[in-house]
Amino acid sequence: MGIEGPFWRAIAVFRVASLVYAAVLMAQHRGYEEPVLGWLVIGVMALWTAGATFAYAAASLRRWPLLGIDLLVALACLLTTPYVEGVRQGAEGVMPVPATWVAGPVLAWAVYGGRRAGAVAAAGVSAGDLWLRARAGDDPVLINGAVLLFLTGVVVGHVARLAKQAEERMQLAAEMEAAQRERERLARDIHDSVLQVLAMVRRRGREIGGEAAELGRLAGAQEAALRQLILGTPPSRQAVSSAKGAADLRPLLLRHGSSEVMVSTPATPLVLPLEVAQGASAAVGAALDNVRAHCGPEARAWVLAESGEGTVTVSIRDDGPGIPDGRLDEALADGRMGVARSIRGRVAELGGEVSIVSIPGQGTEIEITLPT
């Protein structure tokens, strides 16, 4: 029954208490023109109270047909009041036959459908009550009962909806915790078996050389990808907010990780406009391509992303031989525009800046700064 269970039990208690109250009022006001009809109405109310209590206890029956019948029964009992009271209708101290019992459907609608449903049910019951008062000649027509019913439907519906949302969030939190525990268990198992085997294949492949070296390189790439998968967000999952056109840069950068490329990102999201995030990832890819092309397949690279005040900075550093002075200008003059177009040009179009620091024999560091 979930968190709604206490609400439905409270409604059942309210129905029974209201039924007893209506019976007491009927017993006290023996001046009704048709007491037999009045007690017949009380009997119908008692039967429906018992039936509705059992029906609402079953979650499969709590649907709009049952709610509609509940409201119609309450209105029918309410509208019998003129025939039961006769000439005493509208007399001071004489209440409608069902008394407060008619609020039961309003509570049921509110718990099931929220504020709007509670307000609709209250409007239906209030319309019947106001019609009775106008028919009895009340001048002015008192609207106290209608206001109380409306407030009851809205407030109870609001509280019930908040309770449902809280239950859903608790369930989601429990599922996430269970998933995290399972992830940690799998990570331990994978670390103790698969990762160690891949690391051994990578190491032995490099030692043997030849075709085994290529096999070792592939094993190293799979090892890095598997480590990223078990340690954090899968590299293939891009956290994109389609409503705002924004993306988290971290998973885009993690795609570049391998046994030769170590990617480090902060724990908090690096949110950028989608186009900027994709462009930054492409610029990092171009820089890493240059590392592989000019520093050799054994060169290692490090990618570090961090956030500042209104900016995101991505640094790509390698342990290669560095770039000789004037080499970038020569490459541009020769028509090789990998750095000029793929990195500097792309980042400039995104509104960012690129700085390159290279010391011969000590590697190269490219720093990309982008506005958030």
Q: What is the rounded CA–CA span in Å between residue 369 and residue 372? A: 10
Q: What is the rounded CA–CA span in Å between residue 339 and residue 366? A: 10
Within this chain, do residues 64 and 158 fall inside the same structural domain, yes or no? yes
Say if residue 244's pLDDT is above 70. Answer: no
Query: What is the domain-level CATH number for residue 366?
Result: 3.30.565.10
- Give the DSSP per-residue string, 247-261: EEHHHHHHTT--SSE
**293 belongs to a structural domain:** yes
Within this chain, do residues 105 and 16 fall inside the same structural domain, yes or no? yes
Within this chain, do residues 48 and 160 fall inside the same structural domain, yes or no? yes
Say if residue 19's pLDDT is above 90. Answer: yes
pLDDT tens, 286-326?
888 888 878 877 788 999 999 888 899 999 999 888 877 76
**225 belongs to a structural domain:** no
Name the β-bridge partners of 302.
262, 317
**What crossing angle do the helices spanning 103-113 and 64-79 adopt, rounded to 10°?**
160
Residues 6+ apart with CB under 8 A from 22: 42, 45, 97, 98, 99, 100, 101
Within this chain, do residues 242 and 146 fall inside the same structural domain, yes or no? no
Within this chain, do residues 144 and 238 fall inside the same structural domain, yes or no? no
- The residue among 170, 200, 222 that closes a domain is 170
**197 belongs to a structural domain:** no
Report the b/e string of 59-87 with b at 16+ CB within 10 A. eeebeeebbeebbebbbebbbbbbebbee
Say if residue 47's pLDDT is above 50. Answer: yes
**324 belongs to a structural domain:** yes
Say if residue 223's pLDDT is above 60. Answer: yes
Give Cα 14 distance to the centre of its chain. Answer: 34
Number of domains composing the chain: 2
Say if residue 256's pLDDT is above 80. Answer: yes
Residues 6+ apart with CB under 8 A from 80: 37, 41, 97
**316 belongs to a structural domain:** yes
Within this chain, do residues 118 and 239 fall inside the same structural domain, yes or no? no
pTM above 0.75, yes or no: no
**299 belongs to a structural domain:** yes
Domain with 298, as residue range(s), is 233-371
**69 belongs to a structural domain:** yes
Say if residue 228's pLDDT is above 70. Answer: no
**313 belongs to a structural domain:** yes
